Amino acid sequence: MAQYHGQIHLALAGFYDVLSDEGVMYRTRARGNFRKRDLKPLVGDWVTFSAETQKEGYILEIDDRENALVRPPVANVDQAIVVTAVRMPDWSSNLLDRQLVALDEKHIEPIIYFTKTDLLNATELSELEEVAQGYREAGFQVILPKAAFDPASLEEVANSLANQLSVVMGQTGAGKSTLLNHLAPELELATGEVSKALSRGKHTTRQVGLVTIFGGLVADTPGFSSFEVFDMPANELTHHFREFNQLSANCRFRGCVHLNEPGCAVKAALEDGTIMRSRYENYQLFYDLIEGRRPVYNKHDKKH
């Protein structure tokens, strides 16, 4: 049986549609030994598979992943469009910074896309423009539409998609699906047809698929992972604030965590306003959160 290599583009009820390196789509299933190894193929995975026909193939091996998300369940993601509402739900720098840390840890490049800016008055919009500029200066691409999903903002997103595997992320109600439908108006129709064509019974649930938009692959299911937990040690948190990384070489102490150390370049930048106060305060909060979770052993009363 011929062996091929390719990328999973659709997961559905135990079937995986794999686009081979030669550009041919194969319907495959996963071998039973993946279950034994507690390994589940994900959309976005690069795989080796065998197939006699385009309808009957088996995934034999999954290549090492660059990263994987839980919601949406996609592997090897290059970038995430982080849809961030400024109203309903209200803007939260804490949530956005959590998302940025979590994405950085997975080596996923974020694009911040603000929504519901039309619900702000002139003063609030001006304040948000300052916030957006702060994130740009920290090294992020930020899209701040003047009107909801205006052509200029959609074009900026479209231009960033080529040769990337992208996901759309954000809180419920932030406008993720609306953004996806603006980018690919045919999406609802296409995914509906795909689901119907592939359905093997009314309990079939489509998980996620990749669609080609503007020369890149985009997950057709938006997601939101709640980032309550930081898995890294506290002293590594600083590495996931990119503007701190640029400054830390100038700190007096190597391994400075920018909290109480003298000669800290990050705190100096905070004082002269070159980094955002909200980012620094969220960093402090996250650091304390991680430290507070650490188990304490041998806590004996020193008086004895």
Q: Residue positions in the annotated binding site for Zn(2+)?
A: 251, 256, 258, 264
Query: CB 214: neighbour CB atoms within 10 A?
Result: 16
Q: What are the DSSP calls for 58-88, one per residue?
A: EEEEEPPPS-B-SSS-BBS--EEEEEEESTT
Which residues fall within 8 angstroms of residue 130, CB to CB, at 6 or more apart? none
Strand stretches in 174-226, DSSP E = 206-213, 216-219
Give binding residues for GTP as ranges.
115-118, 170-178
* Of 223, 156, 146, 143, residue with least CA distance to 183: 156
Give binding residues as ranges.
115-118, 170-178, 251, 256, 258, 264
Which residues fall within 8 angstroms of residue 184, CB to CB, at 6 or more apart? 211, 213, 218
Separation CA 228–CA 99 (nearest Å): 10
Strand, coil or helix: what is 32?
Answer: helix
* Of 282, 223, 249, residue with least CA distance to 100: 282
- Residue 17's φ and ψ, nearest 5 degrees, are -90, 120
Separation CA 280–CA 247 (nearest Å): 13
DSSP state of 91: P
Separation CA 17–CA 57 (nearest Å): 9
